[in-house]
Every structure is written in C-alpha cells, then in structure tokens.
Amino acid sequence: MSSSNPARPLTPASVQAAHELIQPYIHKTPVLTCSTLDKIASTPQEASALAGTPFEGQEPARPRFRFFFKCENYQRIGAFKARGAFHAVLRLRDELGEEELKRRGVVTHSSGNHAQALALAASTLNVPAHIVMPSISTPSKIAGTQSHGAHVVFSGSTAPEREAVVATVQKETGAILVPPYDFHDIIIGQGTVGIELEAQYAELVKANPKLSAHEKGAHLDAVFTPIGGGGLNAGVATWFSDKPTTRVFGAEPSFEGADDCRRGLAAGKRVEAVSTLTIADGLRTPVGVINWEVISDKNKVAGVYAVTEEQIKAAMRLVLERMKVVVEPSAVVGLAVCLFNEEFRRLVEKEAGEEGWDVGIVFSGGNTTVEAIGKLFGTAN
C-alpha cells in the first residue's frame, strides 16, 4: 500500500487511537458467557480422545475454564474485519485527501470477510472498491461483497493467484491496495477487539464476580483468536503487549497444513505458502510478514495451537446448540483448542491449578449459511 507517511507503530497507543477513529462506523459487539461450555471444557476428556496422540495412556488433564466470548459475528458485515477496513480507508482519506482517494479507489483480495469489510467501508465513504475473490469463496460472502456496490473480480484460491489479479487491477485503475491482513493500519484496527474485550470483561465481572475463576484480582488470563493471515492475532497481541497478566494465544486448523503459523514457530521460520481446503475457509492464508514479526515474539504471543476438522465441527455444534449463536467454522478454533487440545489443557491445569483461567475467546465471524451448516452436519458427515 503506497503512502507518503511512515507506517504507524504497532503499539497499544496506536490501537487506542484507531478505536477512537472508527467508533462511529463499527458496532461494539457483545461479550457473552456460557456456564455450560465452562463445565464441558472443565471436564477431563475421555481416554479414547487421546488415542493416537502423545498423551495416549496418560491421565487426561483437568483444567478449569471460565469463558468470555467476544462476538464479532455481530459486527458489521458479520466479522471483525470491518474494524481494520474502516481504519485503513479513514487513514488513507486523511493522507491522500478525499478527492484523490475517490479518484483512485481501493483494491484488495479476500475470501470473503475482508472483501465485505472493505466494500462496506468504501461504500460508506463514497470510494470505488475493486475486490479480488477466489472463485471458491462462499456464495453468501460474494453476494455480500457485491451488495455494497464493489466491483468483484474472481481469481484462484492461493495467495499468489490472488495477488496477480490485484496487480492487474491496479495497473488498469490506479487503485490503492488495502491488504487483507499484512498491513499496519489493518493490524491496528483489528486490535480494537482487544480494547473492548478487556473493558467488557471487567464490567461483567464487576457486576457479577462469580463469573470469574478468581476470587480476588480478577483478570483475563488468556485471549484466543483464530490465525489465518494473522492480522487479528497480531492486533490483539499488540493491545495486550503491555499487560503482562494476559497472555495472547493463536489457534489454527491442522487440515492440509493450514497450521502454517504453528509449524513456522516450531521451525523458527515463517511458512510462506499454504494450500488447504479446511472448513475454516477464513484461515486458508499464510501468516503475513508483519504479523509474523509480532506473533513470533514470545513476549507478545504465548503460543499457537492447532485442531482438527472434526474438533472444529464439534466446537461449532456446541456454540450453535448450547449458546444459540451463529458462527462460521473459522470463529471457533480457539474454543476448540480449549476443549480438545490436550497440550494446552495441560498447560492451564499446571499453571492455574484449582483456581482456573478466565479466557477471552474471539468469535471472529458468523458469515455462513443454512445450507453450509447443513452440509457440515448432514448425515453424510
């Protein structure tokens, strides 16, 4: 993204400034609790669930959880992406001027949620938008993007294929690239989720102290976000980077190598390409370069864990049936880690003991359909 100004620093102060700027354009989404899911997650897994894992034959972990769900599925366009998109376009308007921005327009590539977010932000601010979307994107996300008046151009599903089409659009139109995740203003905008989650958690626990696992000094012990390109995780980690009592974790699908961030951290090197058809379609991209710098910093992100397709489906079913909340598969990977990843569950048991952890879970989006949900949970599955 071309700009005459240096990139804004990834600091809590930058996230705070972004929140003040975008508040008129976004929803303050609710934070929900669910005692049923607390109990399920705090129950040891069946021994059979550990078969074939490094923990087979061992006593299952006995962690204790209290969850606080930040429902970005209720955000405008149904996902957290509205935050980063509005922040980026508003900053562009400040830097380039309204007339120049309207003359050139903006362009991006996205499987759906950032596509809809940028289309909405551009429409709201009367800026032309060109959106490159993989042809396999969810039909409802394509329709949602087009409903905001954006010009949609289709591409292949991999990042190089998307980026090639973006380059063609830029050459033809002069549009300014607003990347889906690997850009400072996007990351900072997504980090505003953390501001709201922290404040809303404090309000909930103050009103009802029994919601917290802590008898004294209630605080969020951990916050989980999904990781695809990594903008949400890097942004939230930036907000909490000066708050040592709260650790930020990331969650990914393991299917067909979608856990590129986890694998990259293990190898000490960012994985540059991913090709996967995980049901968590919003997480099919590799972690961005800028986001990797944040996520690979252990002082900012405490760890990244992966879960299977069946575990994602099981977590999604619990949210649909027990919480009565509609989410897409990408949104529940953090919850799935808490429910099923024995490595993480043992960490909580070891460090929290009998008291347990208060854990913020970011439901990143809810852009799915009745048909998609039926396909996931049909008898053939």
pLDDT value of residue 379: 61
Per-residue pLDDT reduced to its tens digit, 103-145: 999 999 887 788 999 999 999 999 999 999 989 887 878 888 9
* Torsion sign across C-alpha atoms 347, 351, 357, 359: negative
For 69-90, what is each residue's pLDDT tens digit? 999 999 999 999 999 999 999 9
Catalytic member of 14, 42, 81, 110: 81
Q: CB–CB of 181/292 below 8 Å?
A: no
Closest CA to 170 of 361, 351, 1, 327: 1
**Under-70 pLDDT residues of the chain:** 1-6, 379-381
pTM of the model as a whole:
0.93
Given this model, what pLDDT does residue 5 score?
55
Q: Which of 254, 227, 259 is nearest to 310 (CA)?
A: 254
What sign does the CA torsion over 38, 44, 50, 53 have?
positive
* CA 165 – CA 171 distance, rounded (Å): 10
What is the spatial distance between Cα 125 and Cα 127, in angstroms, rounded to a whole number?
6
Q: What's the pLDDT score for residue 381? A: 43
DSSP state of 112: S
Q: Residue 4: its pLDDT value, please? A: 42
Task: Write down all domains in the chain, each with its CATH number in brackets.
Answer: 12-79+186-377 (3.40.50.1100), 81-182 (3.40.50.1100)
Give the pLDDT score at 248: 98
Say which amino acid occupies 278. Answer: T
Cβ-contact 302, 248 below 8 angstroms:
yes
Give the integer Cα–Cα distance in Å for 368 and 69.
Answer: 18
| Contact in structure between 169 and 132 (CB atoms under 8 Å) | yes
Report d(CA 307, CA 150) in Å as an integer: 35
How many percent of the chain have pLDDT more than 70? 98
Beta strand residue intervals within 161-245, DSSP E:
176-177, 222-226
**Annotated catalytic residue within 111, 157, 330, 364:** 111
Question: Tokens 């990331």 sit at which residue?
Answer: 250
111 an active-site residue? yes
